[in-house]
Amino acid sequence: MSEVRVRFAPSPTGFFHIGSARTVLFNWLYARNTGGTFILRIEDTDKARNTDEALQVLLDGMRWLGLDWDEGPEVGGDYGPYFQSQRGAIYEEYLGKLKAAGRTYEQDGAVFFKISGEPQVLEDAIRGRVERTEEKDFVIVRSDGSPGFHLVNVVDDIAMGITHVIRGEDHLSNTSKHMELFKAFGAPLPVFAHIPLILKEQGKGKMSKRDEGALVEDYQKSGFLSEAVVNYLCLLGWSPKDDSEKMPLKEIIERFGFDGINKGNARFDSRKMSFLNTSYLRELSLDVFIEMARPILLEAGVIDVSVDEAYLKQVMAISQEKVRMPVDIVGISGTFFSEEFEIEPKAEAKVFKKGEPMVCLQEFKEALETLEDYSVAGVEAGMDALVERSGRKRNDFFGVARLAVSGLDRGPGFYELVSVLGKDRMVSRIEAFISSRSEVS
């Protein structure tokens, strides 16, 4: 283990914003890159908002993203307690030091810190040199007796041996106060690294919790893969020196450093996030993909527990590459598992726009009835022969046949679809379609 000790210090509010997730991630990456220690410290001094449920939202989100902490709630460590609400005695002790040094005074029931008023020159690991001079003494203990944010934040960073403070740029304006406090305690300054903000996808300003795509739990609920979300969050403000985008976490850990973090703000890009998600989905091994899809299909009532596993595997194998979001699996594979499906009007209109689809469908059905080899290659050869015999084009058969057996104009590859559905299902679905259409006319 190296000497590096970094921390994520959230005040749980019940939301886990992607901006916070990225702050965790950058701390975590720095710790893993340097072989240091990643600490989770809960800044829960606001009793009304910092409930246990709010804490769980955060812990669940971090676990889902795979960002494990070496010290903190539920894992412990030598520098605890890791909840500020339990560290009152430590704050008292540190406050005593400031009092003894004559750096405090009381006014209207609050305790103020006497600033030095000297210019505070910060060499920020991301922003570079930032100079700022505090002009006013500030409150460190509120009039209700509770220690204030600046005091507890700095005391904990000192007491927990934090070497690098990596946090959002919104705290840059607090840093000169914090530097004053570190110096008053005679403690060495940590390295500060202020991460640029995440801007809304459209329009001006910082992304807020109300913006679409802002909450980690929404990605979790809508079935994003955590690997894709983590990969995307890395790229939100950090980039390796080349143009790599999709990178395994192991490689990101190796390449991560402050020099790759942009000074400018990062703009949220939901399309890039989806794109990464799709490419991670396509790369899952078939078995992993099936286990991801299974609960979704069960929940949607597409399959039940008695599903034929071999058939499920065949259907998933031809559907996986068509899935952009996990939930798409329902639409793409639903018709493989039931003889009762709707014919989508839009798809039907497209098919019936031109040519003689019903005649083609009849010819196609006859070809299927005599076909013996239902492997993908066999189906393709059968189609070649049909095209040859009839003098028609492949597309004359594809659209209407797909419509008749699935109700859609999209889905897995055509030969794969025929091969997996097999002769009996294909023929009976086409017959049902033909008879339903002849009743209408």
Q: Which is nearer to ligand GLU, 165 or 421 (CB)?
A: 165
Query: Which residue's structure tokens are 């570190």?
Result: 182
What is the nearest approach in angstroms of ligand GLU to the Cβ of residue 174?
8
CA atoms of 158 and 182, how far apart (whole Å): 8
**Which one of 153, 277, 319, 335 is in contact with ligand GLU (CB under 6 A)?**
153
Does 209 bind ligand GLU (CB under 6 A)? Our answer is: no
Catalytic residue among 209, 246, 272, 313: 209
CA nearest to 198, candidates 217, 214, 222: 214
Q: Which ranges constitute the DSSP H helices of 143-223?
A: 149-159, 175-184, 216-221
Does 71 bind ligand GLU (CB under 6 A)? Our answer is: no
CA distances (Å), 399 to each of 199, 253, 360, 377, in order?
44, 48, 10, 19
Cα 431 from chain centroid (whole Å): 45
Does 167 bind ligand GLU (CB under 6 A)? Our answer is: yes
What is the nearest approach in angstroms of ligand GLU to the Cβ of residue 154?
9
- Phi/psi of residue 172, nearest 5 degrees: -55, -40
CB of 371 closer than 8 Å to CB of 423: yes
Binding mask 23-52 for ligand GLU (x = CB under 6 A): --------------------x---------
Q: Which is nearer to ligand GLU, 176 or 419 (CB)?
A: 176
**Which range binds ligand GLU by CB under 6 A, 127-135, 164-172, 300-308, 386-394?**
164-172
**Which range binds ligand GLU by CB under 6 A, 7-15, 138-146, 186-194, 320-328?**
7-15
Does 9 bind ligand GLU (CB under 6 A)? Our answer is: yes
3 state DSSP class of 413: coil
**Which range binds ligand GLU by CB under 6 A, 9-17, 63-71, 248-256, 318-326?**
9-17
What is the nearest approach in angstroms of ligand GLU to the Cβ of residue 116?
21
Amino acid at 208: S
What is the nearest approach in angstroms of ligand GLU to the Cβ of residue 147?
13
Tokens of 311: 């058939």
Q: Which residues pair with 110 in a beta bridge?
A: 107
Concerning whether 209 is annotated as a catalytic residue, the answer is yes
Q: Which is nearer to ligand GLU, 171 or 267 (CB)?
A: 171
CA atoms of 53 and 50, how far apart (whole Å): 8
Q: For 170-181, give the DSSP string.
A: GGGGGHHHHHHH
Tokens of 48: 């009304």
The set of catalytic residues is 209
Contact footprint for ligand GLU (CB under 6 A): 9-11, 43, 153, 165, 167, 171
